[in-house]
Amino acid sequence: MRVAVFSTKPYDRTFLSRAAAGYGHDLTFFEPRLDRTTARLAEGFPAVCAFVNDTLDAEVIDALAAGGTRIVALRAAGFNNVALEAAEEKGVTVLRVPAYSPHAVAEFSVGLLLALDRRIHRAWARVRENNFALEGLLGHDLHGRTVGIVGTGRIGALVARTYRLGFGCEVVAHDRYEVDDLKAIGVTYVGREELMERSDIISLHCPLTPETHYLIDEAAIARAKHGFVLINTSRGALINAEAVIGGLKSGRIGGVALDVYEQEADLFFEDLSSEIIQDDVFQRLLTFPNVLITGHQAFFTEEALLAIAKTTMGNIADEEAGKVSPNRVLSEKVAGKG
């Protein structure tokens, strides 16, 4: 099948081309993001491969369908950037990669906390200038601290296990579905409010839905344990960034480590080192010494990229063969009919 691949970088070409060879797909790579101005590039392609920061709203879906596209294959797990009902109406099948390498994101999440709490990033910068002073680098033991995990799917469960078994933390979790294996090792499921009140560290691993949008807002921060540390490697809009800035200024939040940001589509995956960034909220976050931000790289391992590529190309092949893929994404309205 002919596939238009958007938001491509050199590593995308490498791994997707390798995976496509096994299925006979013909890939055409486009560097620009998919949005209303670039959707016309997909004209004549029955399949489109999109990434997390591509825009697939109703207008883009209409344009893709008008150009002959009937498959949108997301090379990501999240699908909050897709107008699913519009896709259903236009007969466009949306496919995703629900699980590629949960270890990649889980390990990075824990790594972010360690770097932030032990000031590893600041120590590295100091040593490069021959400054070996320890003042300002004081951290905390993880052992015995309480970690709150919001979302215990594949990634969240791995993070919970790491903190519980690897560091000897008390772990509390919140999810609509409880995992018995986690409860067996001493993870306690609690309500969202109790998790905020008890946790020294809060790590977010839930999808972005209307229910979880701005999960961390002013009210949640006010309810939380004073000086808590916030980690987010899931979706940027789980956090109200302006509320987080207020919490950092007041000291209510003791530290923040982010690999995602609500307005990241205009920032991440690009080299903007010679440009003036216009996002004042993002720039304000960067001024805090207890904030660590990375550019959506938690997924970025060789194993994960290979798994994403294989699943994405396999999804397209299954759809082409008329198979009902378990990786189809349905709108709530359509899914509810089942």
**Catalytic residue IDs:** 235, 264, 296
For 141, phi and psi rounded to 5 degrees? -70, 140
CA distance 33 to 97: 19
Name residues whose C-beta falls within 8 Å of residue 91's C-beta, 6 or more positions apart in sequence.
65, 70
**Which amino acid, one-letter code, is at 208?**
L
Which single residue is written with the structure tokens 């302006």?
A: 242
Instruction: Classify burial at 176, counting beta carbons within 10 Å of its beta carbon; exposed 0-12, middle 13-18, buried 19 or more.
Output: exposed
- Quick one: which of 143, 139, 140, 203 has its CA closest to 169? 143
Helices 302-320 and 102-117: angle between axes, nearest 10 degrees: 150
Query: Over the range 16-33, which residues count as b (16 or more CB within 10 Å of their CB) and which as e?
Result: beebbeeeebebebbeeb
- Identify whether the C-beta of residue 117 lies closer than 8 Å to the C-beta of residue 230: no
Transcribe 110-156 into DSSP letters.
Answer: HHHHHHHHTTHHHHHHHHHTT----TT------TT-EEEEE--SHHH
Instruction: Classify burial at 15, counting beta carbons within 10 Å of its beta carbon; exposed 0-12, middle 13-18, buried 19 or more.
Output: buried
For 107, phi and psi rounded to 5 degrees? -65, -40
Alpha carbon distances (Å) from 43 to 25, 46, 61, 66, 151:
17, 8, 12, 8, 39
Cβ neighbours, 10 Å, residue 303 = 11
DSSP reduced 3-state for 275:
coil
